[in-house]
């Protein structure tokens, strides 16, 4: 089989962390590239056009957030923030600036690899997404979103979502595996003027969980990223 390795740019100034990531990536068939500073990273990003960027926010020469802004001026390459910063504000800012996802340190290999797979899958489906409306079926465990019928099923039972609830579930399904911020969801669903109205979102999510989750307090399909947003489980 002809397999072209995907290039992953690791932007990380701590040697032990970057070599840990590099080892995991090599072992899983990726081609890692290493940068220790923002300047180095920017040069490599432009010269090598990596398939995914893993970005530490605390860099010696600049804030990683600044780097997201510069890269987004010319590229849509998936950027996964890998940071020790646990402040929700930093995560939200990174995502709003155009980062695709984030992983909080310390993290395990499987978590990192899952995020990379999700990012690559979204790149592949993006071109198709832009041409046609979402069609087909999303499936994860007992949950099925039928985009043609605009219906959601759990264990083959129609869960009878309202229009708003369906829009929310279908949006999360479209970006399954990825965290979507509250503001992003609100803008997508109800337009720019609804910005900041988290109450509608919370009420809709509570109703959705009552309909689709066996135990709404411990969701199996749609997870809350506290203070940041929601994430749908990865599809099959």
The partner residues of 101 in beta bridges, in order of sequence, read 80
Please give the Cα distance from 190 to 203 (Å, whole number): 14
Interface of this chain with Ca ion, residues 8 to 37, rule: CB under 5 A:
13
Q: Give the tokens for residue 48.
A: 């090598």
| Nearer to Ca ion (CB atom), residue 60 or residue 191 | 60
Least distance in angstroms from the C-beta of 37 to Ca ion: 10
- Do the Cβ atoms of 101 and 115 come closer than 8 Å? yes
3-state secondary structure (DSSP) of residue 39: helix
| Nearer to Ca ion (CB atom), residue 105 or residue 160 | 105
Task: Report if residue 188 touches Ca ion, rule: CB under 5 A.
Answer: no
- Comparing CA positions, the residue from 36, 35, 61 lying closest to residue 48 is 35
Least distance in angstroms from the C-beta of 56 to Ca ion: 4
When binding is defined by CB under 5 A, the residue of 25, 36, 41, 56 that contacts Ca ion is 56
When binding is defined by CB under 5 A, the residue of 58, 108, 141, 227 that contacts Ca ion is 58
DSSP at 234: P
Least distance in angstroms from the C-beta of 110 to Ca ion: 23
Task: Give me the residues that bind Ca ion (CB under 5 A), please.
Answer: 13, 56, 58
């Amino acid at each position: 089989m002809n397999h072209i390795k995907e290039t992953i740019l690791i932007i990380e100034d701590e040697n032990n962390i970057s070599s840990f990531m590099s080892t995991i990536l090599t072992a899983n068939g990726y081609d890692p590239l290493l940068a220790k500073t923002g300047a180095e990273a920017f040069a490599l990003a432009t010269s090598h056009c990596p398939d995914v960027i893993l970005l530490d926010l605390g860099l010696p020469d600049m804030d990683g957030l600044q780097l997201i802004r510069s890269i987004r001026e010319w590229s849509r390459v998936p950027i996964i923030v890998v940071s020790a910063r646990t402040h929700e504000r930093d995560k939200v800012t990174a995502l709003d600036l155009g980062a695709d996802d984030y992983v909080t340190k310390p993290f395990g290999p499987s978590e990192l690899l899952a995020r990379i797979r999700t990012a690559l899958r979204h790149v592949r489906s993006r071109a198709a997404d832009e041409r046609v409306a979402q069609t087909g079926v999303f499936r994860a465990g007992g949950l099925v979103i039928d985009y043609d019928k605009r219906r959601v099923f759990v264990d083959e039972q129609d869960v009878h979502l309202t229009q708003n609830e369906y829009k929310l579930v279908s949006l999360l399904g479209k970006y399954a595996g990825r965290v979507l911020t509250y503001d992003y969801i609100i803008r997508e669903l109800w337009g720019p003027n609804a910005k900041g109205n988290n109450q509608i979102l919370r009420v809709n999510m509570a109703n959705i969980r009552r309909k689709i989750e066996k135990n709404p307090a411990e969701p199996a399909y749609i997870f809350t990223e506290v203070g940041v947003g929601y994430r749908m489980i990865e599809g099959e």
